[in-house]
Amino acid sequence: MPSIVPALEWLEGLAWTTAIRESVWGYPMIETAHVASIVAFAGLVIMMDLRLVGLAFTHAPLAQIQRRLFPWQIAGLVPSTATGLLLCCIDPMRYYGNVFFRVKLALLALAGLNAVVFHLKTYRRAERWDEDPQATATARLAGVVSLLLWSGTIVSGRLIAYNWFA
Amino acid sequence: MFLPFFEWCDGLAISQAYRQSLYLFALTQSLHLVAVTTFFGAILIGDLRLLGWGPVAQSRAGIARSAQSVLLWAGLAVLVTGIPQFTTHALTYQRSPIFVFKMCLLAAALAFTATLRRRVAAADEGRLPSWVPRAVGAVSLALWMGVTISGRLITFYG
C-alpha cells in the first residue's frame, strides 16, 4: 500500500504552512478558534443529546427543539471543521504520528455516522417521538451513544497535546 | 498580596500528586474541556433564545429553567476539574496576565448570569422591550466566549 508520508511531508514543506507553523500567533489563533467553535458546536449537540436522553428540556417536543438547534449546530461545525483541517495542514507529521489524533479521528467518524443514521432513520419518525415509546427508546439510545462519542472526541482531541506513546 | 495563598495551593498534597503523575493533569484537563463544553452549550441555548433565535416555540423562562440544572451540574464539574489544575500551577498562574484576565472575566460572566440574565430570562415575554433580552443574550455570549477563549490561551501565553 502506498504511504501517505511523502504527501504529508510535501504539505509540511509548503511556504504557507511553514510560515503559519513558525509564526508566534498563527498556530495559537487557529487552535483557539478551533476550540471555540467546537465548544459551541458540541455544546449544542450535548444539549440535544440531553433532551434525547430525557435529562433536560423535557417540556419541549423533541422534534421541535432538534429542528431549531440544527442550523446552529451546523454553524458551529463548519468553522470547527475548517480550522481542524487547517491545523492538520500546518503540522501534518506531528498529527500523523500521534495516537490520540488517530483515536480522535476514529471517534469523530463514529460520531458522524451516528448522527447520519439518526437523521436518516430515527429523524423520519420525529413527529411521533413524543408519543411513540419505541421511537423514544431509539432516540434515547442515539442520545447516549452521541454523548459518549462526542465526549470521547473532545477528550482525545485535548490529549493530542500529550504524545505519550510516540 | 495573595502570594501566601498561592504558595499554600502549591504545597497542597493534591498539587504534589498532580505534579508527580504523568497522566492525572492531562486527564483532568480533558474532562474539564468536556464539562466546559456542556456548560457552554447550556449558556448558548439560553442566549440564542434571548436573541430571538433557536427554540423560539418555547418561552425564554422555560428554556432558562431547564438549562439551569445543566448549568449547575456542568458548573460543578468545571469547578472540580478546574481547581486541581489551578492549585498544581498556582505559582505560575499568579504571574500570568491571561489567567488573571480569565478569572476577572469569569467573575463578571458569573455575576451577569446570576443577576441580570436570570431576571430578564424569567420576565414575562411582553413586559420588556424586545431589545433588552437581545442585548442581554449578546453580552452573555460575548462574556462566556471570552472566558473560553482566554482559558485556551493560558496554554500558549500563560
The answer to whether A92 and A11 have CB atoms below 8 angstroms apart is yes
Q: Which residue has the higher pLDDT, B75 or B1?
A: B75
Mean pLDDT (whole number) for A36-53: 96
**Tens-place pLDDT, residues A155-164:** 999 999 997 8
DSSP-assigned letter for residue B124: -
Question: Can you tell me the distance from the alpha carbon of B6 to that of B94, in angstroms, rounded to the nearest whole number?
Answer: 7
Among B50, B38, B33, B69, residue whose Cα is nearest residue B123: B50
Q: Chain-wide mean pLDDT for chain A? A: 92
* Predicted local distance difference test score (pLDDT) of residue A139: 84
Give B123 to chain A, closest Cα distance, Å.
18
Grade residue A138 by pLDDT with cuts at 50, 70 and 90: confident
Which pTM was predicted? 0.95
Mean pLDDT (whole number) for B133-149: 98
- Report the largest interatomic distance among the alpha carbons of chain B, rounded to a whole angstrom: 57
Lookup: cell for B107:
467573575
Interchain contact B75–A (C-beta under 8 A): no
- Using the predicted structure, report yes or no on whether residue A18 has a pLDDT greater than 90: yes
* Predicted local distance difference test score (pLDDT) of residue B132: 97
| Residues in A touching B29 (Cβ below 8 Å) | 158
ipTM for the complex shown: 0.95
Interchain contact A45–B (C-beta under 8 A): yes
Q: Amino acid identity, residue B39?
A: F
Among A155, A76, A114, A70, residue whose Cα is nearest residue B40: A76
